Amino acid sequence: MCGIVGYVGPEQAAPILLEGLTRLEYRGYDSAGLAVRDGNNRVEVVKAKGRLKALKDKTNDGSALKGNTGIGHTRWATHGEPSENNAHPHISDDLNVVAVHNGIIENFTEIKEKLIKNRYSFYSETDTEAIVKLIDYYYKKYNIGPIDAIAKTMVRVRGSYAIAVMFKDLPGEIWVARKDSPMIIGVSDDATYVASDVPAILNHTRSVYYIGNLEMACLRAGEVHFYNLDGDEIGKELSTIEWDTEAAEKGGFEHFMMKEIHEQPKAVSDTMNAYVKDGSIDFEAAGLSSEKLKKVKRVYIAACGSAYHVGMTAQYIIESLARVPVRVELASEFRYRNPILEEDSLVIAISQSGETADTLAAIREAKENGVPTLGIVNVVGSSIAREADSVINTMAGPEIAVATTKAYSAQLIAMYLFAIKLAFENGKIDKERHDGLLAEMATLPSKISKVLEDKERIQWFTAKFSLAHDVFFIGRGMDYAICLEGSLKMKEISYIHSEAYAAGELKHGTISLVEDGTLVIGVLTQPELYEKTRSNLVEVKSRGAYLMGLTSAGNYGIEDTVDFTIYIPKTDPLFADSLAVVPLQLMGYYMSVGRGLDVDKPRNLAKSVTVE
Ligand code: G6P
């Protein structure tokens, strides 16, 4: 979704803003813009449709814009088509207010009408222009200064926003405010930064403030002041970002996605090591005591995209090990179906970014109903991390490619640990089983590395299907959950239509889509379901399908049925998804590369979906 950056300090702002926007490219965007104010108090706004390169060309890599204070934006269109006119920054007619915005203003039509009655005119189709002009309106009408003008606007608008604003009268200042959209503020000795996410400022500072919901801040070179909605100044603690800068670079790989696929062994072991101490799982640091866990009689998991698929896998594992009922829901559905939430339940929100609007809303829904919440989050200090009662941090480090890989793998680990701990605390597994499961988990990083060694074969096989129109993934039980993830990876980055089916469901419709040469990928890692899925593969083969089997080492008989096989090392079937996902990620990657697509930034998609 949209990305915001801002800079005020001694350097030229434009190159810093462009660099920050480049690091936010992964969020997804279709146009971009900058506003920079020079020493003579002139503000210049430059915008361009398309990739950042267009904006860089227009501004000669920023050198054409002079000034030490500025704001920048990458826009992912919601209101109004992607165009230069709709791109941010947006301005009031006399350039009194210039602003960038991430989020959605739900009542912008109403605000627009009010402003039109007050002789404002509008040049774009965006909701942002309404917010800019409303700030201008209050600022001038009441002559009340920035704090009250912004606060009045915040009270008047409905929806979500992170905004960065420059006022004509206030050189050397950037004003920001937020509600439900991400924003961090970084400070160094002589400069201050604002951004939608950490990678944008990591090259400049690691000292950040997290601005809370319905709060404002004034940024000056090297200093920042925070205010609540009443205009009272509030104190904030400075936090340090632990991620190293290299983590946000490609490190010799052609794409972030491939680099992140290779970082999975580390993401898995770092996440395990953070919570396994002396052979036991310790969630005290996560705020999840044994007493709390013992009270849990029902689990709800709410998540979106790949995180939802982690929830699907976790459902099988929690129910199998801990015998506690689990319901997994798409967060976007959960929030609108008036779920029956009881106090002995636990609502788990899984989210890489910790900012996905629907997942955050699920946490809030649970809290309103007095139900304890647990966030499984990769970004420290994100909204879900701050609002959930307990938080397990996945240790994947910054993930840049839009299609998640290492964060997904780290989320699986967090959920395995949760399931084992819950089962052990409830007496559903004994110490021997507990220790055995942890010992097997400790082997996963090296087994993932082993799967990565097979990547050339996967590349070779994938190349044969780069012109495919449809790909089907079939599996049962946890294999079905991994099929969902494999299919999502395939479609999101290669734009090939793909679907995942519970293998037993094929005969209820989908089999009619199978034609001569259709690629069907069967996942068979669960021993008790192996024969069943194999029979389903035979059924599609006899209708002309070309078959790939993904199964565990030892199941060599599969080669009698399928045309191409990928083996993963043997592991406890409960953990097979951690290994099976890797070849499927690689297939999506190679398919995308083979088709000449933008692997890291697929069209129309955003890394962090901060609007509904
Ligand atoms: C987007 C990303 C997916 C991700 C999903 C949920 O669609 O492209 O990779 O799984 O959002 O994001 P979250 O940050 O909540 O895990």
Q: Whose CA is nearest to atom 5 of ligand 1?
A: 305
**Cβ of 378 less than 6 Å from ligand 1:** no
Rounded to the nearest angstrom, the gap between the alpha carbon of residue 536 and the centroid of all alpha carbons in its chain is 35
Residue 1: predicted pLDDT: 72
- 351 CB within 6 A, ligand 1: yes
353 lines ligand 1 (CB under 6 A): yes
For the chain, 612 residues long, the average pLDDT of each consecutive 10-residue run is: 93 96 85 90 91 93 94 89 91 94 92 94 93 96 90 93 94 94 94 93 93 95 96 93 72 89 96 95 94 94 97 97 96 85 93 93 92 94 92 93 95 98 96 97 97 92 88 96 96 93 86 86 96 92 92 93 95 97 97 90 80 72
Distance from residue 301's CA to the centre of ligand 1 (Å): 15
CB of 578 shorter than 6 A to ligand 1:
no
Summarised one tens digit per residue, pLDDT across range 130-177 is 999 999 999 998 888 999 999 999 999 998 899 999 999 999 999 999
CA dist 527 → 244, 404, 540, 572 (Å): 41, 28, 21, 10
Return the structure tokens found at 323.
Answer: 């015998």
Ligand 1 pocket, residue 404 CB under 6 Å: yes
Provide the mean pLDDT of the chain. 93
Query: Rounded distance, CA 18 to CA 15, Å?
Result: 5
Q: Is 430 helix (H, G, I), strand (E, B) or coil?
A: coil
Ligand 1, atom 15, lies closest to the CA of: 351
Q: Which of 313, 316, 389, 380 lies closest to 351 in space, CA to CA?
A: 380
Is the minimum distance from the CB of 468 to ligand 1 under 6 angstroms?
no
Which of 40, 46, 39 lies closest to 14 in space, CA to CA? 46
pLDDT of residue 242: 78
CA of 180 to the centre of ligand 1 (A): 16
> 87: CA distance to ligand 1 center in Å?
24
Ligand 1: distance of its center to the CA of 102 in Å? Answer: 17
* Best mutation site among 181, 304, 335 for ligand 1 pocket (most ligand atoms within 8 Å of CB): 304
Nearest residue by C-alpha to atom 1 in ligand 1: 607
Residues 9-18 pLDDT 10s: 999 999 999 9
Instruction: List CB contacts of 542: < 8 A, sequence separation 6 or more.
Output: none
Q: How far is residue 405's CA from residue 157's CA, in Å, rounded to a whole number? A: 37
Please work out whether the CB of residue 395 comes within 6 Å of at least one atom of ligand 1.
no
Q: Would you please indicate which residues are annotated as catalytic (active-site) residues?
A: 2, 607
Here the tokens at position 73 are 């934006």
First to last CA, the chain: 11
> Which atom of ligand 1 is nearest the CA belonging to 384?
15
Residue 77: predicted pLDDT: 84
Q: Which ligand 1 atom sits closest to the C-alpha of 404?
A: 9
* Cβ atoms < 10 Å from Cβ of 276: 18
Q: Which fold has domain 255-442?
A: Rossmann fold (3.40.50)
Nearest-CA residue for atom 7 of ligand 1 = 305
Task: Give the closest residue (by CA) to ligand 1 atom 8.
Answer: 607
Cα of 171 vs centre of ligand 1, distance in Å, is 38
Rounded distance from Cα 605 to ligand 1 centre (Å): 10
Spacing, Cα 478 to ligand 1 middle (Å): 20
pLDDT for position 505: 87
The answer to whether 409 and 264 have CB atoms below 8 angstroms apart is yes
User: 126 in ligand 1 pocket by Cβ < 6 Å?
Assistant: no
Helix (H) / strand (E) containing 134? helix 128-142
What class, spelled out in words, does domain 3-241 have in CATH?
Answer: alpha beta
Cβ partners under 8 Å of residue 303, min gap 6: 310, 311, 328, 330, 331, 349, 350, 351, 356, 359
Contact 177, 154 (CB under 8 A): yes
Q: Do domains 255-442 and 450-598 have the same CATH topology?
A: yes
CA distance 64 to 61: 8
Residue 306 in contact with ligand 1 by CB distance below 6 A: yes
Rounded to two decimals, what is the model's pTM? 0.79
Q: What are phi and psi of 72, to 5 degrees?
A: -140, 165
Number of residues written out for the chain: 612
Q: Which CATH number fits domain 450-598: 3.40.50.10490, 3.30.460.80, 1.10.3720.10, 3.90.1150.10?
A: 3.40.50.10490
Quick check: CB of 609 below 6 Å from ligand 1? yes
Among residues 564, 525, 524, 557, which one has the least CA distance to residue 541?
564
pLDDT value at position 120?
95
Domain ranges of the chain: 3-241, 255-442, 450-598
User: How far apart are alpha carbons 444 and 395 in whole angstroms?
Assistant: 15
